[in-house]
Structure 1
Amino acid sequence: MEPDLFTAAAEERQESSPGASPLAVRMRPRSLDEVVGQQHLLKPGSPLRRLVETGEQGPAGPASVLLWGPPGTGKTTLAYVVSKATDRRFVELSAITAGVKEVRAVIEGAKRAAGGYGKETVLFLDEIHRFSKAQQDSLLPAVENRWVTLIAATTENPYFSVISPLLSRSLLLTLELLTDDDIRGLLRRALAQERGLAGSLTLPPESEDHLVRIAGGDARRALTALEAAAGSALSKREAQIALETVESAVNRAAVAYDRDGDQHYDVASAFIKSIRGSDVDAALHYLARMIEAGEDPRFIARRLMIAASEDIGMADSTALQTAVAAAQAVAMIGFPEAQLTLSHATIALALAPKSNSATTAIREALADVRAGKAGPVPPHLRDGHYKSAKRLGHAQGYVYPHNVPGAVAAQQYAPDAVHGRRYYEPTRYGAEARYAEVADRVRRRLAGEGEEGE
């Protein structure tokens, strides 16, 4: 018996019968031209388009494809399109629920299909990072012998979560969050097309805006929310999906927040000022508003990195480490988990001791330079690694600090124009209190006033 007859029939019912399956499944693209977003992967001549349009996978082609990106960006869709376009069987497994036994069963089925009726198989393995090293190793024979076309998906950095032998045999494709315009196009297509809502409802701009915001670049989330709101509107015999209906259906209030307007800048400003003012609760409130409104988590992470130096600086230098680590984590994990990382960093920065001395120091140094207070570099500090340097007096008389007690040599470093000018004025807050004492002591030594060994 040919199992693909049943698979094909089920797929046909899912795609063509409104109500037979979730809206996100019914609206799944059938070709690359229907795929929303990811244009960097779909341009003419790209490896993915060649694989789909020509079935290119011979000895020189990739043994497998690895799709890396946030949830809802089209990983399952692209795997499905590859199988449909190249007329292959499509088998989907999740590493959350499947193990080596299930993988081996699929591989055996693929061998039978290839030998029995010449049908190749696409194995889509979702969440491959959930597989252990041993489980990933079990995929290698099937990949190397081309028994299946493996398309694996992960939301985590594959260089950390996928074994090297599998990674080296894969075409790695990085997917990006969908833009607001991508989500709008997807919603409008779902409203209009027969396999979607078939024009049964209209979506006012304010309702569309809210759906776009709560989607957060996730196509599946957008369509699921639209379906819930549409079901609620139809049950009340309404002709349009009102904002109140969307809010009720998805249990999320619309947040007054425009990523390109005043609310964006006002909330972001209040977020930073709350951190600067050490009001951790207010900072978390504004963070929540940005998250709920669908703000780009990378934007929030960038603001935290700036605040770590601008408002905390030398009072707690570990704040910058925390902010940078948060930005790296956000880039790797995405929402919704990234909200935990952003909360962690926000709390740490809000409760850290504050100092703007680094900000003031560079601002005043730049002001002097822009005012023309630069002057030539003192001769003893100039480069002496060339033939005529000694004749010019360059690098002559320079005192190597490591050769003197305390490793601080009493000599002039700044140009004459700003010699003696103090840019760094430390506070006595947090860790900076210690740096203030160090700075005072070093300045005295540089001026030749300190005691030897001080």
Structure 2
Amino acid sequence: MADPNKLPSGGANGSADDAPGLFDEPSVAGPTAAKSQGRSAGPASTGLNSDASAYFHPGAHAPLAVRMRPRNLDEVVGQDHLLAPGAPLRRLVEGGGDTSVILFGPPGTGKTTLASLISAATGRHFEALSALNAGVKEVRAVIDTARRTLVNQGIQTVLFIDEVHRFSKTQQDALLGAVENRIVLLVAATTENPSFSVVSPLLSRSLLLQLQSLDDEAVGTLIDRALTDERGLNGRVSMTDDARKQLIALAAGDARRSLTYLEAAAEAVADGEQITAESLANSINRAVVRYDRDGDQHYDVTSAFIKSVRGSDVDAALHYLARMIEGGEDPRFIARRIVILASEDIGMADPTALQTAVAAAQAVALIGMPEARLTLAQATIHLATAPKSNSVISAIDGALKDVRSGKTGPVPPHLRDGHYSGAKDLGHAVDYIYPHNDPMGVVAQQYPPDQLVGTDYFVPSNHGRENGMAEYLGRIRRIIRGSRRKSK
């Protein structure tokens, strides 16, 4: 019985999301097009061994994105920085390298396509594992098979693992020996930054290659070829210029997305008709936002949101807020970030910012989405347009630094707790001056430990409510420190 955790050599799932239709595409122009991109013209055949071919090119029933997957270097569009003559990836694709590789980049940039081309090189045996459901047992079984194949037949195994970041540390560790001893040539693909998701020993044994989102020209070329190529729509429909521009914009550098949308739009029109901007919009519910709540994109967009608010660019802040919302981010997470921003980047320059942020967090918990988008937007606008100051975080971090470095010292005796029998005998709370008994409400009295006397943690800025606060604070400090009673 087939192992359900191991992707069969001749199988593939039909999901457009899992199938890399990428930025790659078949070349209509053949060798001429390849040379224009600095790539030598490869053979017309796929060059894939039968196992890899069946996995990466399952046939006419597959989604458009899968059918249009390149079968040789000539058909690849984009990633020229990785495929230049003599580049490590090019050598691997041409069968001249033995180094395992981790392909890292956004969805739809060619990771699985390049993996298929590497797997095609020089007759290596091919195996694939699903990182979603394969355990350590399955990993070790594949490695054992690869070891026997190498010993008995002298053939190395290409092991393809998509979404490798989903492997646990234990699963990744199980690969180390086989990768180091070149029992397998690992080809792993991930949308997440490997520095955060792949164990260091595996990283050090592999070539890490970062793929970039496709530019509009590359996506446009892919669309044009998919419309005419016999593996694609084979000229069944055409597309208006406006629709083409709209599709390129919706793709946002993701080739798989462009082909998925194109296929949906083509299915909505009759043979011989044109796909218009209107019919394209009608066939697509909404643009799929590139945002992974658990991955690198999550941190990038969140970081951009925070920095836009801090930088007072309200429009950019709203843009990144929209991306988080549309990407399915938990609104409570967004609200928490807004609350933190209110104190960290605004603070006393506009104390009402924290009130707005806390109210927004409470409202999000109360009403939920989609209405909570209004609350989050209002809080974002308030914080982005508010005067900025980092005096609060600077103050508390300065105080924490001193405490952690040992600058503490005993609490002055007159400030100690005097509400118990015998406290006065110890000198606790003796001669404490109650400030409210003074007409000014401020008295000369030592508050900090001796070694911190005269230390200023809070330094107000000249922004917002903090403007002018320095003068007031200076007067208060002079009174307090003027004829201070020293602790004993």
TM range (shorter): 0.5 to 0.7
| 2-structure distance, mates of 1:212, 1:174 | 22
- The structural deviation recorded for 1:148 is 1.1
Fraction of identical pairs, as percent: 52
Q: Which runs of 5+ in 1 are unaligned?
A: 255-271, 294-303, 320-341, 359-401, 409-422
The one-letter code of the counterpart of 1:252 is R
Q: Is the contact between residue 314 and residue 355 of structure 1 (CA under 8 Å) also seen in structure 2?
A: no
Q: Which residue of 1 aligns with 2:195?
A: 159
- The structural deviation recorded for 1:90 is 3.0
Q: Which residue of 2 aligns with 1:377?
A: none
Structural mapping, 1:384-423, within 5 Å: 406=454
- The structural deviation recorded for 1:97 is 1.9
State whether structure 2 residue 386 is matched by structure 1 residue 355: yes
State whether structure 2 residue 277 is matched by structure 1 residue 243: yes
| 1-structure distance, mates of 2:199, 2:9 | 32
Q: Which residue of 1 aligns with 2:235?
A: 199
Instruction: Give a deviation string over 1:216-244, Cα, whole Å, max 9, x none.
Output: 221111111111211222xx334221223
* Helix, strand or coil at the partner of 2:268: helix
Q: Which residue of 1 aligns with 2:422?
A: none
**Structure 2 counterpart of 1:140, from 176, 196, 202:** 176
State whether structure 2 residue 464 is matched by structure 1 residue 437: no
Structural mapping, 1:29-44, within 5 Å: 29-44=70-85
Normalising by the residue count of structure 1, what TM-score does the alignment of the two structures yield? Answer: 0.59
Distance 1:69 1:314, change over 3 A: farther
Q: Is the contact between residue 202 and residue 241 of structure 1 (CA under 8 Å) also seen in structure 2?
A: yes
| 2-structure distance, mates of 1:55, 1:343 | 56
Structural mapping, 1:52-201, within 5 Å: 52-57=93-98, 62=99, 64-201=100-237
Larger displacement relative to structure 2 (103-112 or 24-33): 103-112
- The structural deviation recorded for 1:347 is 6.6
| 1-structure distance, mates of 2:375, 2:157 | 44
| 1-structure distance, mates of 2:375, 2:125 | 45
Distance 1:288 1:65, change over 3 A: same
| 1-structure distance, mates of 2:129, 2:51 | 19
Distance 1:187 1:170, change over 3 A: same
Structural mapping, 1:226-305, within 5 Å: 226-233=262-269, 236-252=270-286, 288=322
* Helix, strand or coil at the partner of 1:86: helix
Distance 1:283 1:155, change over 3 A: closer
- The structural deviation recorded for 1:53 is 2.3
| 1-structure distance, mates of 2:452, 2:135 | 66
The one-letter code of the counterpart of 2:73 is L
- The structural deviation recorded for 1:157 is 1.9
- The structural deviation recorded for 1:291 is 9.0
The one-letter code of the counterpart of 1:34 is E
- The structural deviation recorded for 1:49 is 1.1
| 2-structure distance, mates of 1:277, 1:85 | 50
| 1-structure distance, mates of 2:151, 2:184 | 13
Instruction: Give a deviation string over 1:181-203, Cα, whole Å, max 9, x none.
Output: 22111111211222112222211
Length, aligned pairs only? 326
- The structural deviation recorded for 1:113 is 3.6
Q: Is the contact between residue 56 and residue 116 of structure 2 (CA under 8 Å) also seen in structure 1?
A: no
Q: Is the contact between residue 95 and residue 118 of structure 2 (CA under 8 Å) also seen in structure 1?
A: no
Distance 1:404 1:128, change over 3 A: closer
Q: Is the contact between residue 83 and residue 89 of structure 2 (CA under 8 Å) also seen in structure 1?
A: yes
Q: Which residue of 1 aligns with 2:50?
A: 8
| 2-structure distance, mates of 1:10, 1:68 | 21
| 1-structure distance, mates of 2:10, 2:71 | 18
| 2-structure distance, mates of 1:352, 1:109 | 59
Distance 1:133 1:345, change over 3 A: farther
| 1-structure distance, mates of 2:109, 2:217 | 14
Q: Which residue of 1 aligns with 2:463?
A: 426
The one-letter code of the counterpart of 1:26 is R
Normalising by the residue count of structure 2, what TM-score does the alignment of the two structures yield? Answer: 0.55
The one-letter code of the counterpart of 1:426 is H
Distance 1:51 1:424, change over 3 A: same
| 2-structure distance, mates of 1:175, 1:225 | 22
* Helix, strand or coil at the partner of 1:406: coil
* Helix, strand or coil at the partner of 2:147: helix
**Structure 2 counterpart of 1:315, from 349, 368, 371:** 349
| 2-structure distance, mates of 1:286, 1:4 | 42
Q: Is the contact between residue 80 and residue 90 of structure 1 (CA under 8 Å) also seen in structure 2?
A: no
- The structural deviation recorded for 1:102 is 2.3
| 2-structure distance, mates of 1:112, 1:343 | 61
Q: Is the contact between residue 52 and residue 116 of structure 2 (CA under 8 Å) also seen in structure 1?
A: no
| 2-structure distance, mates of 1:349, 1:291 | 13
* Helix, strand or coil at the partner of 2:232: coil
- The structural deviation recorded for 1:31 is 2.2
| 2-structure distance, mates of 1:123, 1:202 | 39
Q: Is the contact between residue 284 and residue 343 of structure 1 (CA under 8 Å) also seen in structure 2?
A: no
Structure 1 vs Structure 2 CA RMSD: 4.6
Q: Is the contact between residue 207 and residue 242 of structure 1 (CA under 8 Å) also seen in structure 2?
A: yes
Distance 1:141 1:453, change over 3 A: farther
